[in-house]
Amino acid sequence: VQPFTNTLAESVGAWGEAKLITQIRRWLGSASPASPFGVGDDCAVLAPANRRQLITVDPVIYGRHFDDTVSPLAVGAKLLKRNLSDIAAMGGRPTAAVVALTLDPLVSQTWLRQFYRGLARCAADHRVPIVGGDIAESPGIFAASLTLLGQATGPRILTRVGARLGDRIYVTGVLGGSLASGHHVKFKPRLAEGAWLAAQPEIRAMMDLSDGLAKDLPALCPPGCDPALDPAAIPRRPGADLAQALTDGEDYELVFVLSGRVDHERFELAWSRKFPQVKLTCIGNFVTNRTRSILAVDLKSFQGYEHLQPRRSLRR
Amino acid sequence: VQPFTNTLAESVGAWGEAKLITQIRRWLGSASPASPFGVGDDCAVLAPANRRQLITVDPVIYGRHFDDTVSPLAVGAKLLKRNLSDIAAMGGRPTAAVVALTLDPLVSQTWLRQFYRGLARCAADHRVPIVGGDIAESPGIFAASLTLLGQATGPRILTRVGARLGDRIYVTGVLGGSLASGHHVKFKPRLAEGAWLAAQPEIRAMMDLSDGLAKDLPALCPPGCDPALDPAAIPRRPGADLAQALTDGEDYELVFVLSGRVDHERFELAWSRKFPQVKLTCIGNFVTNRTRSILAVDLKSFQGYEHLQPRRSLRR
C-alpha cells in the first residue's frame, strides 16, 4: 500500500493541520490521554518518576524502514516496537511516547488512519500513552520519529558495560532473514524478558540486536577480550545462513552476558521455566584476544548493517 | 549557507555512521554526557524526577524553518529554543533532550559541525544535556527533530485552561515581523519569566505564541467568552503592522491571563521589578461573546499560520 495519493481530496493536505490533529487523536483513541496529559497544550504533562528513567528515539521512513509491501497497520506498530526493543534492552518498561511526523501533504488519509490505528493498538497492548507530537510538511516524504520514555522496573538497569573475561554470551530467539520473513514488522519486543534479566544479579550486560550480531556484539566485549563464538551454535531463522544470521539486522532479539562464575545450567533452567516459549542459546564466551580458537567465528570478516552508505535495498 | 555539498569527500556520507556519531559527540562536547547517561547505549539513563514532568517535540527542516540565509549555528540553536519556548509556556525548566536527524548523505561536514556547535552552545547556556539521538538517511532532506523533557519548577504547572470572564490578557515583548527581523532565530526563550509566572497564583493560564496571536489566543479563551483586544494596545515590532503582529507567527513570546479580581497594577509593578528589561503589555480581557465591543479586534478576520497548506514562503 502506497502512503501517497494523487487525489487531493483524499490527502491529509485537504484537511489542514487542525483537522488532521483532531483525526489523529480520534485514531489513537484511548492511547491519547486528555490534555494536559496528552495532546493539546504546549507540552504534555507526565507524572513524577521515582525510579531512574530511560529515553530513546527511532524513526520509520518510507523507502528506508518500510515499503509498499508493508501494511500501514504494521508500519505504525513497528514505529513503537523498534523503540520498545531499546527499552527492553535496558530492562525497563515504557511510560510515554511522542511522535513527530514529517510528511508530504499528499499522504493519503486512509493510509495515515491505518498507520495510527496500528500504532494505537500496539500502544494499548503495551499501555504506553501517546502524549504528544508534531506535524511538519516536507515534499515527497513520509517519516515518523517516535521518542519513548521509560523507567527502570527495579533497582537495576542493564547497560552494555559489565562483561568480563570468561562470561557466557546468550541470545534470545533466532537470527537472520528478518526482512525476507516479515519478522521486522511481526516481532514482539522482549520487554518481559529484559525486565526479568535485569533482576538477575548474575547477568552483567545486555543490548538488543538491530544491526546484526557481527556489528552489535563488539559493544558488549570487555577490553582485551574477543567473543569466541561457535558458528554451529548461532541460532538461525529457517532459510538463513550464517552470514545472514550475523549481518541481516533487525533481529530485535536480546543479547546478554552471564557471569562465567555461576552455574549456567541453573540459569538456563530458570529461564526455560520463566519463558518456556522463548528459545535461549549460549553462542560462546569472552576470551582474551590472544587465546581465541581458530575455529571460532571471526566477526570482523562479516559486516553488519552500515548506515549512511548508498544502497538500493530497504533498510534502516 | 547551504547544508548540502556536491563533493562526496566533504559530506557526512564519506564518514559513515560510526564516525559521524563520534564527531557529533565531539561537537556537542560537555553537552553530551558519558554513557549510559548519554549517547552510547540502547537508551539514555535519566535521573528520577520528583516533580511532574513535561515533554514536547519540534523540528527544524531545511526549506521550512530555515533557508540558506540562516547560519547553521543559528539553526542548531533554534532547534533547541523552539522547544525551550514550549517548556517556558508551562512554567517548567528543561532537563534533557534527544535529537533525531533525517538527512541526505551529501549534507556537508562543515555545515553539520556548525549546526551542532550552535545546538551545543545553546544547550550549555540552558544546562540541557543532549542525551541521545538517531540518524537516518533520506534523499534531498535535512530535518532535525528534538524531543525536550522538562520538569515543573514548583508545585504548579500553567496550562492553557483556567481563564475566566473578566480576566486580563498580557503578552511579553513585541509581535510580528519575526522572519524579516531575524527574531525567529535570535529570540530568547522566556524560561525565567514562565517559571516566575507559574509561581504567581493570580496567573490562571499561559501559552507561547508560535502561530500568531490570532490563531493561538483562542486556545486560552474560556467557554462563552471572546477576547476583547484593543488594537492600539497590541505591541508591534518596529515595521510590523497590526495584521503582521497578529498573524506572522514565530513570536516565541508568552501570552497569559491574570485574574480579573486582583490588583493588576500591583502585578505589573512586581513584573517590572522582576523583569525590568522585558516589555509587558495588557492587550485586553475576556468578555462574554455577546458584549464584545465593535471597536475590538475581530481575530477571526485574521488568519494565523496554517500548517499543511501549499505555499512558497519559508515558514513552519
Q: Given this model, what pLDDT does residue A311 score?
A: 43
Q: What is the DSSP letter of B88?
A: H
Q: Which of B35, B157, B161, B308 to mutate against chain A (most A CBs within 10 Å)?
A: B308
Q: Provide, as residue numbers in chain A, all residues whose Cβ is less than 8 Å from the Cβ of B41.
A: 90, 159-160, 207
pLDDT band, residue A301 (cuts 50/70/90): confident
Instruction: Please give the grid coordinates belonging to residue B52.
Output: 511532574
How many other C-beta atoms lie within 10 A of the C-beta of residue B171? 23
What φ, ψ does residue B214 adopt, rounded to 5°? -60, -40
Is the Cβ pair B16, A102 closer than 8 Å?
no
What is the rounded distance in angstroms from the CA atom of residue B30 to the CA atom of residue A280? 40
For B180: left if phi > 0, alpha if psi spans -120 to 50, otherwise beta; the answer is alpha
Query: What chain A residue is nearest to B160 in terms of C-alpha separation?
Result: A41
What is the rounded distance in angstroms from the CA atom of residue A126 to the CA atom of residue A188? 11
Mean pLDDT of B267-291: 95
pLDDT band, residue A268 (cuts 50/70/90): very high
Query: What chain B residue is nearest to A43 in terms of C-alpha separation?
Result: B56
Q: Select the residue of A59, A90, A102 nearest B42 (Cβ to Cβ).
A: A90
Q: Given this model, what pLDDT does residue B311 score?
A: 43
Is the Cβ pair A307, B51 closer than 8 Å?
no
Is the Cβ pair B140, A140 closer than 8 Å?
yes
Is the Cβ pair B59, A134 closer than 8 Å?
yes
Query: Would the pLDDT of A33 be above 60?
Result: yes
Query: Would the pLDDT of B313 be above 60?
Result: no
- Cα four-point dihedral sign A19, A21, A24, A28: negative
What is the rounded distance in angstroms from the CA atom of residue B72 to the CA atom of residue B103? 14
Query: What chain A residue is nearest to B93 in terms of C-alpha separation?
Result: A43
In this prediction the pTM is 0.94
Q: Select the residue of B36, B52, B140 nearest A47 (Cβ to Cβ).
A: B52
Q: Select the residue of B20, B160, B309 nearest A16 (Cβ to Cβ).
A: B309
Query: Would the pLDDT of B314 be above 50?
Result: no
Q: What is the DSSP letter of B177?
A: -
What is the rounded distance in angstroms from the CA atom of residue A167 to the CA atom of residue A284? 9
Question: In angstroms, how far is the first alpha carbon of chain A from the final one?
Answer: 19
Q: Given this model, what pLDDT does residue A292 score?
A: 61
Query: What chain B residue is nearest to A36 in terms of C-alpha separation?
Result: B159
- 3-state DSSP: chain B helix, strand, coil percent, rounded to 5? 30, 25, 40
Instruction: Please give the grid coordinates belonging to residue A25.
Output: 487523536
Q: Which of B94-98, B161-165, B303-307 has the lowest mean pLDDT?
A: B303-307
Instruction: Please give the grid coordinates belonging to residue A302.
Output: 562479516
Q: Given this model, what pLDDT does residue A310 score?
A: 45
For B224: left if phi > 0, alpha if psi spans -120 to 50, otherwise beta; the answer is left
Per residue in A148-203, pLDDT (tens digit) is 999 999 999 999 999 999 999 999 999 999 999 999 999 999 999 999 999 999 99
Q: Could you write out the DSSP letters of every residue in A254-315? A: EEEEE-TTS-HHHHHHHHHHH-TTS-EEEEEEEEETTT--TTS--GGGS--PPTT---SS--
Q: Could you write out the DSSP letters of every residue in B249-311? A: -----EEEEE-TTS-HHHHHHHHHHH-TTS-EEEEEEEEETTT--TTS--GGGS--PPTT---
Structural element, H or E, at residue B237: none
Q: Given this model, what pLDDT does residue A299 score?
A: 81
Q: Provide, as residue numbers in chain B, all residues whose Cβ is less than 8 Å from the Cβ of A309.
A: 13, 16, 105
Is the Cβ pair A61, B147 closer than 8 Å?
no
Closest CA to A210 of A86, A66, A75: A86
Q: Select the residue of A105, A145, A208 nearest B145 (Cβ to Cβ).
A: A145
**A58 Cα to chain B: minimum distance (Å):** 6
Q: Provide, as residue numbers in chain B, all residues whose Cβ is less than 8 Å from the Cβ of A135.
A: 307-308
Q: Given this model, what pLDDT does residue B296 score?
A: 72
Query: What chain A residue is nearest to B60 in terms of C-alpha separation?
Result: A136
Per residue in B222-246, pLDDT (tens digit) is 999 999 999 999 999 999 999 999 9
Structural element, H or E, at residue B21: helix B17-28
Query: Would the pLDDT of A302 be above 70?
Result: yes
Mean residue pLDDT of chain B comes to 94
CB–CB of A146/A79 below 8 Å? yes
Is the Cβ pair B36, A161 closer than 8 Å?
yes
Is the Cβ pair B35, A159 closer than 8 Å?
yes
Q: Given this model, what pLDDT does residue A305 score?
A: 66
Q: Which residues contact B16 (CB under 8 A, 6 or more apart)?
A: A306, A307, A308, A309
Mean residue pLDDT of chain A comes to 94
- Residue located via cell numbers 571460532: A296
Q: Select the residue of A52, A86, A316 nearest B47 (Cβ to Cβ).
A: A52
Is the Cβ pair B307, A136 closer than 8 Å?
yes
Instruction: Please give the grid coordinates belonging to residue B152.
Output: 515543573
Secondary structure (3-state) at B180: helix
pLDDT band, residue B198 (cuts 50/70/90): very high
Query: Would the pLDDT of A314 be above 50?
Result: no
Is the Cβ pair A307, B135 closer than 8 Å?
yes
Numbers of helices and strands, H then E, in chain B:
9, 10
Q: Provide, as residue numbers in chain B, all residues whose Cβ is less than 8 Å from the Cβ of A153.
A: none
Query: What chain A residue is nearest to B209 in terms of C-alpha separation?
Result: A42
Up-side HSE of residue B1: CA atoms within 13 Å toward CB? Answer: 16
Q: Could you write out the DSSP letters of every residue in chain A? A: --SB-S-GGGBGGGT-HHHHHHHHHHHHGGGSPPTTSSBTBSSEEE--BSS-EEEEEEEEEBTTTB-TTS-HHHHHHHHHHHHHHHHHTTTEEEEEEEEEEEE-TTBBHHHHHHHHHHHHHHHHHTT--EEEEEEEE-TT-EEEEEEEEEEESSS----S----TT-EEEEES-BS-HHHHTHHHH----HHHHHHHHT-TTEEEEEE-SS-HHHHGGGGPPTTEEEEE-GGGS-B-TT--HHHHHHS-----EEEEE-TTS-HHHHHHHHHHH-TTS-EEEEEEEEETTT--TTS--GGGS--PPTT---SS---
Is the Cβ pair B40, A160 closer than 8 Å?
yes
Is the Cβ pair B56, A46 closer than 8 Å?
no
Mean pLDDT of B122-143: 96
Per residue in B11-30, pLDDT (tens digit) is 999 999 999 999 999 999 99
**A256 Cα to chain B: minimum distance (Å):** 13
User: Which one-letter amino acid corresponds to residue B235?
Assistant: P
CB–CB of A129/A35 below 8 Å? no
